[in-house]
Amino acid sequence: MKSKIFLILALPLLVFFSSCEDPIVVGLDAATPELSVDGWIYSDTSYQEIKLTKTTEYFDTTRQPAVIGAQVSVTDLTDSTIYPYTETRPGLYTTNSFKPLIGRSYQLNIIQEGITWRAKTDVKRVPTIDSLNFELNEEGGNGPGGPRDKDTYFLTLFARETPGQGDYYKFDATLNGRPANEPDNINIIDDKFADGLVFIPPVNFGLNEEEYKLGDTVEVRILSINADAYAFWTEINTQINNTEGLFAQVPSNIRTNIKNVTPGNSATAVGYFGGSGVSRKRRIVGQPQ
């Protein structure tokens, strides 16, 4: 008798759940396209670039449209020198005559469709890379990033952090001219617990995602960043890597320092303008430094 009762109760539930198979269409209000800024200035080169695009709808998978015809420049706030940028291809604005100085502050200026945008950054000090060392992985399968082939190499960076707290850094590496770090491996630190000390893991572990082999050309950069840029990269890192589980990060807008200074205009922008002092070191695996 109990089985008959269960069957009678189960049939309506089956009908109910089978009726829930209709697709659910999520309707999103159309968003006004925003200016998107991707710009960084580096102390070790006179070539600088700023990329300008427009944001698209959430489910739009096409490339963001380039912003053409904008007026772009950077002002040295110490001596008021203005460095104009030239649009070398749609949405890409560059200069070959501007080498930022460590210790100075700079302002990005954009005029686009009658709106004036500004952003400020500063270029902080950066420690010198003393050397790059490669250690043979003789056993294989025990690398920081998971299983590895035997006869590959681990990379160790030797550099001493500059004494005096308040410094922030981003580390990256290239392997034979291409990025050696995956997009979800944003290697940043502050000097709260490393002030004046030699850099140790996780810095070195973060540079060992690739399997370095004899003859590979590897270049490592230390980029100084300010406190706000450190927070910017931290927010990006959190949203990329904390997307699953009970405590997953709820997607939200990343901070931006791009400000609309046009009176009476409420348009907003996304993206970031930053500056870095740069220390770099290059080495071919298997050859002396």
Whether the per-residue pLDDT at 35 is higher than 60: the answer is: yes
The verdict on residue 55 lying in a domain is: yes
In a domain, 73, yes or no: yes
- Please spell the DSSP secondary structure of the chain, one letter per residue: -HHHHHHHHHHHHHHHHHGGGSPPPPP-PPPPP-EEEEEEEETT-S-EEEEEEE---TT--SPPPB--S-EEEEEETTT--EEE-EEEETTEEEESS----TT-EEEEEEEETTEEEEEEEE----PPEEEEEEEEESS-S-BTTB---TTEEEEEEEEBPPSSS--EEEEEEEETTEE-S-TT--EEEESTTTTTSBP-TTHHHHT-SS-B-TT-EEEEEEEEE-HHHHHHHHHHHHHHH--SSTTPPPP-PPP---EE--TT----EEEEEEEE-EEEEEEETTS--
The answer to whether position 271 is within a domain reads yes
* Average pLDDT over all residues of the chain: 87
Q: How many domains does the chain have?
A: 2
CATH number at residue 95: 2.60.40
Q: Is residue 4 part of a domain?
A: no
220 and 258 in a single domain? The answer is no
Domain that holds residue 58: 35-124+254-275
Q: What is the pLDDT of residue 256?
A: 97
Based on the fold, state whether residues 142 and 222 are members of the same structural domain: yes
Do 213 and 184 fall into the same domain?
Answer: yes
Same-domain pairing of 86 and 153: no
Segment 215-231 mean pLDDT: 97
Residue 235 domain-assigned? no
Residue 241 confidence (pLDDT): 80
Say if 188 falls within a structural domain: yes
Same domain, 119 and 262: yes
119 with 258, same domain? yes
| Residue 107 shares a structural domain with residue 161 | no
Q: pLDDT per residue over 110-166, tens digit each?
A: 999 999 999 999 999 999 999 999 999 887 655 555 567 778 999 999 999 999 999
Reported as a single tens digit per residue, the pLDDT across 205-214 is 889 988 999 9
Residue 26 within a domain:
no
Residues 217, 262: one domain?
no
In a domain, 97, yes or no: yes
Residue 69, pLDDT score: 98
